[in-house]
Structure 1
């Protein structure tokens, strides 16, 4: 029997799970997230090994999902010094690079901004030649001042020639110690949002390096030798090398892991997932076993971006959400006691009325001392609990695309608070091990590859062109570590762009498959 180990580092808890080669959960653990992250992971792995009693040499893979890159952007801490280069003058100079970024973020990563002649049209044709001499001057100026460089060129997802050449020129002068982020590899069509995503990616390279190395050290301290992978926000995995190149793809992988874990634990590939934590409830949609992606540009730390993100609706409702009662009326949240629930909630001897207290008073949950909430009037408890259920039901309706009832899967530490009857749900499932669905989601993830470009699709050759693009996506997944024999296309979109001449079509294809040498 061989094993996989999954870890998901959240803001409150570090969750872990070990699965065997039959994909059965052997053991699970929740451990408070520590400030240095690494010691919390070390303790989680130690507890998993101790409680499972397995031979650690039989662990083949370890997977990590983490919020560290997201937190670095939001808190503006530990970010790289970035050189920002846009290739697109004179056509693309009307709006300056990263103009829409918040001022406090610009002060940290936006001190060196340049615009260079070059770029391509939507169909890949040249706008103007790349100004290589200007790039050489920029490289000389950036030497010793930055440790990461973001390069964005007009329509580079269609033709990345100028971005690649610019990297070569600058690297020849600066050296290989500086990290490069190319927009053609990060975002999709739309210059400004793609540029923002690329700059953010460049800004969190060092954070990703510390996180990946910290995970490996945590495993080494527990004498675990295995292949290591990191979770992306589309529900799939990437290698350490890939993570260090594209750390932005780890953003929002926590909710994604919960969705994937919920799908796996419930054996439902099409459902709405409700992940209830201590502070918030995250609601997402699983289709064919993978999270539905957001169709809108996404704001991250006050920055508008267009790289892929799961379609998640976050509701300010969780087990620690504070309930205020006044003159027979009440207000639920959005404030929460969070990780201090066991200190401040009424049932634990505290002075704060929380959603957990209401669930205990309602008889939905056995936790703490129920006598401490007996003073609450039954009619008031009923009203508050009904409103909690309405908030959940309204959020679920927001995520549905039709009036049809769909399965609803409850996961997360707060899932026990919720009634097993939800309006609009064909069935409500609270699977075993749902409290660590995020860690399980990280452990069962596949490897993926994605292609998104604008093509001139000749109607006479449409089938041939699409088949070729799908093959590119499969090769991309295999290159990232997927088993070629089991890799397949999991999503395909083609959208004709009527506002562009010719037969311009935006095509987006994703392939996914299990790890090579799957157990």
Structure 2
């Protein structure tokens, strides 16, 4: 029988599951290091032929690999005036990461060339292989970063790998900087993880395409996940949310998860994780992105506080079920919110991943002149989405999409951010 292989990484443990369309047909826990024979035995013991594996769905928070990051990183800030804030300082401290940061003027400003040469010379004497580059308004005008990379390659050909920020659709300079630096720090460790994963599958005779679960509860290609690993942050939380909503057959469901200290509370929305509004924090670093709305309780909450929180999150006047993966004694009982205990093991997580849709989100900033222009821009975004799907070899069915128009009143010439969200089934 054909189906999908699900790999759920939780710390050093790996859960292997096989199924299709929300039904888990086989599961096994690997408590220690995972070797090809573990996967081979799982397939053999459950009568699964490698050729019958249609897809490999991976739940792995790739940001956990920051602890394996050893190489220092170079960073160039391009702006007309210096920015005094230290980039990702809290993350550097907590994860013991090394960052060499330089402020450079824009290419059109005096002193740019000499300062660039001096910065590159300093970095060339250090064990720095990668340099992140972030310029003001790079999502609108990428030319300063492109000129810098071209000049640097001429000065030190092949010495560094450069990672520009114009691939990030975040207008806020500091928020774009945070995402850029975290992703760039992760790339070397993620590359090693991807090689290990590909070897694991190859040794088991599996040649199916690999997809990763993102923090927003949708799947993405292996290429996207390993290029922007920050997208997988809180993927484990999302797998619980997806599975709980599928288990109850209810689009809106509260989910309680255990934490190192206390519990975490989250909720689904239309069978997907309800996403946080505003900023989220990653080791003290602010992020703008699509991540689950999670409320942390460091100790057992008081009954009235717990009820107030549930009422604030509940989109309906009536009660919602509360799926509790934490010990029931860790939460107070509220009569209006029945507590349900899920089946033991990773079955619900696996089922949630098996029904997760594939998601793609792209956006661009343009300057609105007339109604016809916005239709042209929408078509261009749609073409970009189709091109990206083709590049990743993704074929979707039951496609739904949504355009969002966000006026940027702080920019001149009627600037507007146009965002396209596409969902579909693999």
TM-score category of the 2 structures, normalised to the smaller one:
0.7 to 0.9
- Which of 247, 251, 268 is 1:286 aligned to? 268
Q: Does 1:27 align with 2:26?
A: yes
Aligned to 2:395: 483
Aligned to 1:80: 71
State the 1:26 CA deviation.
0.5
The answer (yes or no) to whether the contact 1:452–1:509 under 8 Å persists in 2 is yes
User: What SS does structure 1 have at the residue aligned with 2:64?
Assistant: helix
CA 1:52–1:484: 2 relative to 1, 3 Å? closer
Q: Does 1:410 align with 2:403?
A: no
Q: TM-score, normalised by structure 1?
A: 0.69
Aligned to 2:99: 110
The answer (yes or no) to whether the contact 1:80–1:205 under 8 Å persists in 2 is no
User: What SS does structure 2 have at the residue aligned with 1:6?
Assistant: strand
Q: Does 1:190 align with 2:104?
A: no
The answer (yes or no) to whether the contact 1:150–1:198 under 8 Å persists in 2 is yes
Ranges in structure 2 where 5+ consecutive residues have no aligned partner: none
State the 1:195 CA deviation.
0.7
State the 1:255 CA deviation.
0.9
The answer (yes or no) to whether the contact 1:197–1:305 under 8 Å persists in 2 is yes
Partners of 1:462 and 1:268 in 2: how far apart?
A: 41
Aligned to 1:327: none
Partners of 1:42 and 1:498 in 2: how far apart?
A: 55
User: What SS does structure 1 have at the residue aligned with 2:321?
Assistant: strand
CA offsets per residue over residues 85-144 of structure 1, 9 Å max, x none? Answer: 1121x24x14255175456369732224342314xxxxxxxx869956754554454336
Residues 127-276 of structure 1 aligned to structure 2 (within 5 Å): 131=112, 134-135=115-116, 138-143=119-124, 145-171=127-153, 174=156, 178-186=160-168, 188-276=170-258
CA 1:454–1:407: 2 relative to 1, 3 Å? farther
Q: Does 1:512 align with 2:423?
A: yes
Q: Does 1:460 align with 2:374?
A: no
User: What SS does structure 2 have at the residue aligned with 1:181?
Assistant: strand
Partners of 1:429 and 1:99 in 2: how far apart?
A: 40
State the 1:198 CA deviation.
0.8
CA 1:70–1:244: 2 relative to 1, 3 Å? closer
CA offsets per residue over residues 195-229 of structure 1, 9 Å max, x none? Answer: 12211111111221222222233334444333222
User: What SS does structure 2 have at the residue aligned with 1:511?
Assistant: strand
- Which of 63, 70, 85 is 1:70 aligned to? 63
The answer (yes or no) to whether the contact 2:22–2:354 under 8 Å persists in 1 is no
CA 1:446–1:136: 2 relative to 1, 3 Å? farther
User: If you compute each CA radius of gyration, which structure gives the higher value, 1 or 2?
Assistant: 1
The answer (yes or no) to whether the contact 2:77–2:101 under 8 Å persists in 1 is no
State the 1:70 CA deviation.
2.8
Partners of 2:95 and 2:9 in 1: how far apart?
A: 28
State the 1:191 CA deviation.
0.7
Q: Does 1:305 align with 2:287?
A: yes
User: What SS does structure 1 have at the residue aligned with 2:128?
Assistant: coil
- Which of 44, 49, 60 is 1:55 aligned to? 49
User: What SS does structure 2 have at the residue aligned with 1:108?
Assistant: coil
Aligned to 2:18: 18
Partners of 2:361 and 2:111 in 1: how far apart?
A: 28
Ranges in structure 1 where 5+ consecutive residues have no aligned partner: 119-126, 318-331, 333-386
CA 1:268–1:202: 2 relative to 1, 3 Å? same
Aligned to 1:496: 407
The range that moved more, 9-18 or 248-257, is: 9-18
Partners of 1:469 and 1:411 in 2: how far apart?
A: 44
CA 1:234–1:54: 2 relative to 1, 3 Å? same
The answer (yes or no) to whether the contact 2:4–2:53 under 8 Å persists in 1 is yes
CA 1:240–1:460: 2 relative to 1, 3 Å? closer
Q: TM-score, normalised by structure 2?
A: 0.82
The answer (yes or no) to whether the contact 2:368–2:374 under 8 Å persists in 1 is no
State the 1:432 CA deviation.
5.6
CA offsets per residue over residues 275-326 of structure 1, 9 Å max, x none? Answer: 4578654333333333233222222122233344322223346xxxxxxxxx
